[in-house]
Amino acid sequence: MRSPQGRCLHPGAWWVWALALGTAATRTTNPLLLGLLLAVSAYVVAARRTDGPHARSYGAFLELALAVVLIRLFFAVALGSPIPGTHVIATLPELPLPDWAQGIRLGGRVTAEALVFALYDGLKLATLLVCVGAANALANPSRLLKSLPGALYETGVAVVVALTFAPNLVTDVRRLRAARRLRGRPDKGVRGLLQVGLPVLEGALERSVALAAAMDARGYGRSARVPAPVRRTTTALTLGGLLGVCAGTYGLLTAEGGTYGVPVLLAGLAAALGGLWLGGRRSLRTRYRPDRWNTRAWLVAGSGVAVAALLALAASRDPAALHPGVVPLVAPALPVWPAAAVLLGLLPAFVAPDPKEPS
């Protein structure tokens, strides 16, 4: 008989995979590649998500992504766009603005080039949101908290409570809407939303109070006695490491910092990890059957990192393929090897254990 841990992947691997796909989405505005990233994340979620409450939040993130695209298109129509265009779709009444609002307009010409540019831009942000939704649907937040280092446990509790709020909120909304339909009451529209919203918020508050009471009953917040030099060393390493990570990341994103970016980033990561290791000595908590970072976790995380790295390489070598122009307005083409790189993100659907299999 296989243990439950054998049917579950380390939650950190799912987050690395999903965030890497989101990073890949930020490197392109090609709608074909972004659509391929959306299809990859959706297929993996459908193949490897569980039946828990957190797994039902993926649909809500899809709706949020669609809302982001629509809002971006609305702003392009109402506020105009700096993108020049010759294909005029409509001409809206333009409101006169004072001189101090130069550069901003309300109404005016709506061109196809401006709409296509807004669609590409909104689709990039929507893909990033869907990738985060895939991580929420695949990784159990409570198991993620158990896997955090001891130095981040207190901060991790707040993060996990925030991550579980959205899935539980979606579950409560569905449950209350189903109950209202059974009673013959309206569950849609503004009236239905207002009548459902209060019980949902009340349930969220009750869960927060129950969590606080459970943490207090279990002696949460106990810490070991650590000598003062160790505390100072931990603080210096953690803060210095985080500053080094920020400086190294900035160096990688700018052309002037290409020479020092990688060494500073690696040194910052090493210092931050050392500070976390020392900070974990103050925690007295134990772990029951901890999740292991095994070969499957390495494959899942590595597939996402490979997608992000290959798309970053493609963006530097062939930017025109990953960022199709809108002036002149042409149909985007699907680059072959970046598309093949995105398909590497499907690997978790085949190597990750299926949580629905019987033990």
Domain that holds residue 334: 4-149+293-351
- State whether 69 and 143 are in the same domain: yes
Residue 144 shares a structural domain with residue 234: no
Asked, for residue 174, whether it belongs to a domain, the answer is: no
Residue 310 has a pLDDT of 92
pLDDT at 272: 77
- Longest Cα separation, the chain: 75
From the list 202, 348, 219, 347, the residue with the least C-alpha distance to 283 is 219
- Alpha-carbon dihedral angle through residues 133, 138, 141, 144, given to the nearest 10 degrees: -120
**How many beta carbons lie within 10 A of that of residue 352, not counting itself?**
23
pLDDT at 353: 84
Q: Is residue 173 part of a domain?
A: no
Q: Do 246 and 333 belong to one domain? A: no
pLDDT of residue 33: 93
Burial of residue 308 (number of CB atoms within 10 Å: 0-12, 13-18, 19+): buried
Question: Per the domain annotation, does 104 fall within a domain?
Answer: yes
Tally of CA atoms within 13 A in the half-sphere of 261 that contains its CB: 11
pLDDT in tens, 106-122: 777 888 888 888 899 99
Report the C-alpha gap between 292 and 36 in whole angstroms: 31
Q: What is the pLDDT of residues 227-250, one digit of tens each?
A: 777 667 777 787 788 788 788 777
Domains identified in the chain, total number: 2
The three-state secondary structure class of 102 is coil
Rounded distance between C-alpha atoms, residue 43 and residue 26, angstroms: 20
**Are 113 and 11 in a shared domain?**
yes
Q: Using CA atoms, how far apart are residues 196 and 185, in angstroms rounded to an integer?
A: 11
For residues 140 and 235, membership in a common domain is answered with: no
In a domain, 108, yes or no: yes
Cα-only R_g, the chain? 24
Nearest to 263 by CA among 275, 276, 277, 248: 248
Q: Are residues 74 and 140 in the same domain?
A: yes
11 shares its domain with 38 = yes
Assigned domain for 253 exists: yes
Q: Provide the strand spans (E) within the chain.
A: 88-95, 106-111
Q: What percent of the chain has pLDDT above 70?
A: 67
Task: With respect to residue 62, please indicate whether it lies within any of the assigned structural domains.
Answer: yes
pLDDT tens track for 142-160: 676 666 665 555 565 666 5
Please tell me whether residues 119 and 254 are part of one structural domain.
Answer: no
Regarding whether 324 and 252 lie in a shared domain, the answer is: no
* 195 within a domain of the structure (yes/no): no
Same domain? For 244 and 143 the reply is no
284 close to 224: Cβ distance less than 8 angstroms: yes
Query: Quick check: pTM over 0.85?
Result: no
Tell me which DSSP letter residue 291 carries: P
Tokens 């982001």 label which residue? 68
* Residues 16 and 130 grouped into a single domain: yes
SS3 358: coil
The answer to whether residue 315 is domain-embedded is yes
Average pLDDT over residues 111-137: 90
Residues 301 and 273 in one domain: no
Do residues 50 and 355 lie in contact, with contact meaning Cβ atoms separated by under 8 Å?
Answer: yes
